Amino acid sequence: MLALLCPGQGAQTPGMLSAWLELPGLRDRLENYAAVTELDLLALGTTADAETIRDTRVAQPLLVAASLLSLHALSLDGPVPAADVTAGHSVGELAASAVAGVLTDDQALVLVRERGRAMAEAAAARPTGMTAVVGGRPEEVDEAIARHGLTAANVNGGGQVVAAGTTEQLQALADEPPARARVIPLQVAGAFHTEHMAPAVEHVRGAAAKIAPADPAVPLLSNADGAVVASGADALARLVTQVANPVRWDLCCEQLLALGVTGVVELCPGGVLTGLARRTLPGVETVALKSPDDLPAARELMTRHGGTR
């Protein structure tokens, strides 16, 4: 059983789309995506520096465009088996919604354009950020996050929780981390998936109201609780509320195992979710699409594991 996973914010790296644009038709496709997002995605994906693509207004559309671009690249040499289930981490959930057929590429890109703008504006209201807490006893990690007034914004499984809040709160956590845990500041520009993003929700809801979603053609997992989303309307509503609510990637991984997933392909820029999968999805074979060089391995995995639904 095959899962296609879509990475979230922080996975972007400078130049990550350069090699992809050498493939037939992908430059034209990215130019179309650029027109929809009203961003120069070609420059952002090839020559922009790390600080430029860290900007939430840029990072979120760029990541969704990258995942969609690599999805289309998979079928350039002929049809590949469809995914049996899909999920995306945070903003990656919009790309996964396109994989599932809930949104078209353009709909996903319009929504992520507005999401990125709204979340950047909310983040600008007060200096906030996110820090990964890796290791430690779960109860001690939870206690430390709560004690410093932070929110467990991403519960990723595999001993990784992402705390989010003000820069002062995050510094206090760094100064007094949980025992046997590493505290790693993340390259994101705000406390996403927390109450700090509440002002962005209504803007995203307004953008979503202009979209007519389809029911999922491929089972789509929700970041809210790992559930298989029942309808396009439910999927779209969840995308809106997820902006200010924690990502439960641990529950998505539990659902992938419960469904019987045996193979995972992580779309571009792959690596983060397959890294987590090695700790949370034992025995599941993975391929991360980091460059076009990974396409043959991904197609081969999809052929062996796909089409079992």
Active site residues: 90, 193
Q: Using an 8 Å Cβ cutoff, are 90 and 221 in contact?
A: no
> Which amino acid, one-letter code, is at 32?
N
Listed in sequence order, the residues at least 6 apart from 300 whose beta carbon sits closer than 8 Å to its beta carbon are none
Give me Rg for the CA atoms of the chain.
18
Q: Which of 292, 289, 195 is nearest to 241 (CA)?
A: 195
Assign 146 to helix, strand or coil: helix
What span, in angstroms and rounded, lies between the C-alpha atoms of 172 and 115?
29
Q: Using an 8 Å Cβ cutoff, are 181 and 135 in contact?
A: yes
Long-range contacts of 43-46 (CB under 8 A, 24+ apart): 45/15, 45/16, 45/17, 45/18, 45/20, 45/21, 46/15, 46/17, 46/18, 46/21
Assign 152 to helix, strand or coil: strand
